């Protein structure tokens, strides 16, 4: 199946605003900032959640959220997805009658920015997932992906203050989504894949955010065997990845990366950069020490 590449549209006037301020010299400046707006999600007749989002692809966000929270089951028939821009409401209708009143009371706030949530029964689904053991990641693919993703026009390059997630096939990005919360960006990809019948069992998932338990749970729930980030790890994220057989790669910048789970999928077919710790340039750290300091800067952002 040929998949049309979906990329951010940083020129969409709805997604950013110009705001005036002053700089470090006291001079008057204008800055481009990302817009946040509420989106209320209904599943059939039941209100599920109001989330803060940049506002693009609301239908994909809604379907992906419900799928990743196990409120949409794999065999559920989606009858309609309706978005009302004036009311800032999206309604997903299914042929199956749904009632998640009790489920909505039992949720856990995660470390995802903008308060991501996961529900208790997700772990039951997580424990039953078997990821594709034949999937591989060539280092040449990884280097090509990072270069392509980092040079793609995006809201991040225009305004910052946003997270990106990218679904990739071999050395090619397929779906590139951004949002103020990394979990929203994940859900947009899950929704697009669900509505367009895209198989994820042989794909690579890239995120700009930290490799937390939430990121691992959602990646496994989507059946994706390889998760890559330019940022760092949490201990529970690593534990869950090892439990699920997920390949977990962090600190991926340039030609450096660190694999803490699932290293059997890595095929080393391209030369890495300079050996970690081999040199310093102009007093800057290189190698593993520099990775840790860069992680700290990324994770604060």
pLDDT at 224: 98
pLDDT at 182: 87
| pLDDT, greater one: 121 or 236 | 236
Q: Which CATH class is domain 137-300?
A: alpha beta
pLDDT at 116: 52
* Phi and psi angles of residue 166, each rounded to the nearest 5 degrees, phi first: -135, 125
Write the pLDDT tens digit of every residue in 223-237: 999 999 999 999 999
pLDDT at 115: 47
CATH architecture of 37-120: Roll (3.10)
For residue 38, the number of C-alpha atoms closer than 13 Å in the C-beta half-sphere is: 7
Contact 272, 255 (CB under 8 A): yes
pLDDT at 121: 65
Which of 205-219, 263-277, 285-299 is predicted most confidently?
205-219
DSSP strands (E only) in 105-242:
107-109, 117-119, 137-138, 163-169, 172-179, 204-207, 226-229
Of 202, 158, 208, the closest CA to residue 182 belongs to 208
* Phi and psi angles of residue 156, each rounded to the nearest 5 degrees, phi first: -60, -45
Q: Is the pLDDT of residue 109 over 60?
A: no
What is the arithmetic mean of pLDDT over 49-61?
Answer: 94
What is the arithmetic mean of pLDDT over 69-93?
Answer: 96
What's the order of all strands across the beta sheet hosting 204-207? 172-179, 163-169, 204-207, 226-229, 247-253, 256-261
pLDDT at 253: 93
Helix (H) or strand (E) holding 38: strand 37-43
pLDDT bucket at 275, cuts 50 / 70 / 90: low
| pLDDT, greater one: 157 or 89 | 89
What is the arithmetic mean of pLDDT over 236-257?
Answer: 96
| pLDDT, greater one: 183 or 1 | 183
CA distance 269 to 221: 29
pLDDT at 216: 94
pLDDT at 208: 92
What residue segments make up the domains of the chain, in order of their start? 37-120, 137-300
């Amino acid at each position: 199946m040929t998949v049309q590449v979906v990329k951010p549209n940083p020129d969409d006037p709805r997604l950013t605003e110009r705001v005036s301020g002053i700089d470090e010299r006291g001079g008057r400046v204008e800055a481009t900032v990302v817009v946040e707006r509420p989106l209320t999600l209904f599943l059939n007749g039941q209100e599920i959640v109001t989330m803060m989002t940049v506002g693009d692809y609301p239908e994909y966000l809604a379907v992906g959220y419900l799928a990743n929270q196990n409120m949409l089951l794999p065999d559920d028939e989606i009858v309609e997805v309706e978005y009302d821009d004036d009311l800032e409401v999206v309604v997903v209708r299914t042929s199956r009658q749904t009632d998640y009143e009790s489920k909505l009371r039992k949720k856990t706030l995660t470390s995802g920015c903008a308060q991501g949530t996961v529900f208790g029964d997700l772990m039951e689904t997580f424990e039953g997932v078997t990821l594709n053991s034949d999937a591989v990641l060539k280092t040449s693919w990884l280097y090509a992906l990072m270069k392509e993703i980092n040079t793609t026009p995006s809201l991040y390059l225009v305004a910052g203050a946003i997270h990106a997630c990218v679904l990739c096939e071999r050395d090619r990005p397929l779906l590139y989504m951004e949002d103020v919360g990394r979990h929203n960006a994940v859900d947009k990809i899950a929704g697009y894949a669900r509505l367009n019948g895209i198989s994820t069992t042989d794909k690579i998932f890239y995120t700009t955010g930290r490799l937390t338990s939430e990121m691992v749970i959602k990646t496994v729930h989507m059946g994706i065997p390889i998760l890559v980030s330019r940022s760092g790890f949490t201990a529970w994220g690593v534990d869950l990845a090892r439990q699920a057989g997920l390949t977990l790669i962090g600190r991926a910048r340039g030609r450096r990366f660190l694999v803490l789970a699932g290293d059997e999928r890595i095929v080393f077919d391209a030369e890495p950069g300079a050996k970690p710790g081999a040199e310093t340039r102009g007093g800057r750290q290189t190698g593993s020490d520099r990775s840790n300091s860069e992680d700290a800067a990324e994770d604060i952002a």
